[in-house]
Structure 1
Amino acid sequence: MTKKNNLPLIAIVFSLFIFSCSNSNKFKIEKGKVGKITTKTKMLELYSIFKNDSIVKNLSEGAQGDNYFQEDDEYFVYEKGGKLLLTIMPKEQLDSTSTIKSIEIHDPRFKTESGINLNSSFSEINANNNINRIESTFSSATLFIDDLNTTIAIDKEELGLKEFSTQKVTLEQIPDLAKMKSFIVWFH
């Protein structure tokens, strides 16, 4: 008699387990993978992957266009409620069969196996990843993490440096509490 009563309970627990596993994979970042998007995903597949969300396209005008400053198509993925999740750029412009060039992460729920997300501090990033090199731009320092094929930009204000200088930045100069400005996963 108790076995029959436990069956619905076991089914509910199993369903919750499956749902939590699939939900955690929805926001997992790995090399060549962001959630359900992989290096083989084509732009036209985004609509089925994000069928419960909204995708807004900002297409370049190609060689025929007047907007010389926009080189790449951009696909903005918003969840219900209007929160921006991702900015996705295709390898080939104006081609729905193109695979993906890069994905910029805008939501802290997306995280790596080691827990690195948009809200992570430099000390968390440095402790859990091998930073291969740092490049300095006018306004930020960009960390290259080859194990994940990602770049993480940290604003020079976080480093205590003047903006609009190309002063070389070393790992030792970056404060432990410095926050990231952008988090991009590359698919090449």
Structure 2
Amino acid sequence: MKKTVLLAFVFTVCVVFSSCNNNNKFQIVKGKVGHLTQKTTIKELETIFKNDSIVKNLSEGSLGSNYFQDDDEYQIYEKGGKHLLTVVPQDQLDTLSTIKSVQIFDERYETQTGITLNSTFSDINLNNEITKIETSLNSATLFIDDLNATIAIDKEQLGLRQFTTQKVSLEQIPDLAKMKSFIVWFN
């Protein structure tokens, strides 16, 4: 009898730690996305995502002649091919650099308030303080200081014509508008 109770207890503890570890893998909080933190270096990506694939899209940095080259990007894919994240370093062409930003591509990543890539504007606005909105030609970008994150919503979702610079207010955004991109900033 004692052996059965002990085995049940050990099993329960294992399940709890396993589920906590799995939750942390997809948790988004200010300064942290899954196992990535503000102190994580680009070199550590290989270890953190050892069971996944990393596609490196490196710029020429200050060494190249193309001044319009984008930042370095490290795209993280699960073994099955699902795009999880895109990581951009603070310093280009430097594996000891820390992370500048992480763009979320997988809906399993979730904030403490339940925001995922599939969340609507209503979900975002209800559970987070949107401190600023910037309008570009194609989208409206919401700034959420609690997470140090930006969420872009396509102007098409807002019922506005693209390629206009018309300002957007919170009241203009439909509750069911979906996000175009979700980026967590580490600076």
- Taking structure 1 as the reference length, what is the TM-score of the superposition? 0.97
State the Cα deviation string for residues 7-63 of structure 1 (Å, max 9, x = none). Answer: 222211211110000000110000000011110111101111111111110000123
Q: Which amino acid aligns with 2:182?
A: F
Tell me by how many angstroms 1:159 deviates.
Answer: 0.1
Is 11-20 or 95-104 further displaced after alignment?
11-20
Is 1:178 matched with 2:177?
Answer: yes
Alpha-carbon distance in structure 1 between the residues aligned to 2:46 and 2:63: 27
Q: SS in structure 1 opposite 2:96?
A: coil
Give 1:120's aligned residue: 119
Give 2:73's aligned residue: 74
Alpha-carbon distance in structure 2 between the residues aligned to 1:43 and 1:62: 15
State the Cα deviation string for residues 65-120 of structure 1 (Å, max 9, x = none). Answer: 35443220000000110100000000000000000000000001001001001000
Identity score, percent:
65
Is 178-187 or 57-66 further displaced after alignment?
57-66
Give 2:165's aligned residue: 166
Give 2:54's aligned residue: 55
Q: SS in structure 2 opposite 1:55?
A: strand
Is 1:25 matched with 2:20?
Answer: no
Q: SS in structure 1 opposite 2:62?
A: helix
Give 2:43's aligned residue: 44
Alpha-carbon distance in structure 2 between the residues aligned to 1:57 and 1:69: 18
- Taking structure 2 as the reference length, what is the TM-score of the superposition? 0.97
Q: SS in structure 2 opposite 1:132?
A: strand
Give 2:5's aligned residue: 6
Q: Which amino acid aligns with 2:44?
A: E
Alpha-carbon distance in structure 2 between the residues aligned to 1:67 and 1:156: 31
Would you say how many aligned residue pairs link Structure 1 and Structure 2?
Answer: 187
Q: Which amino acid aligns with 2:163?
A: F
Q: SS in structure 2 opposite 1:12?
A: helix
Stretches of structure 2 that go unaligned for 5 or more consecutive residues are none
Is 1:157 matched with 2:156?
Answer: yes
Give 2:107's aligned residue: 108
RMSD of aligned alpha carbons: 1.0
Alpha-carbon distance in structure 2 between the residues aligned to 1:162 and 1:67: 33
Give 2:138's aligned residue: 139
Moved >2 Å (runs of 4+) = 63-71
Alpha-carbon distance in structure 2 between the residues aligned to 1:130 and 1:162: 27
Alpha-carbon distance in structure 2 between the residues aligned to 1:65 and 1:57: 17
Stretches of structure 1 that go unaligned for 5 or more consecutive residues are none
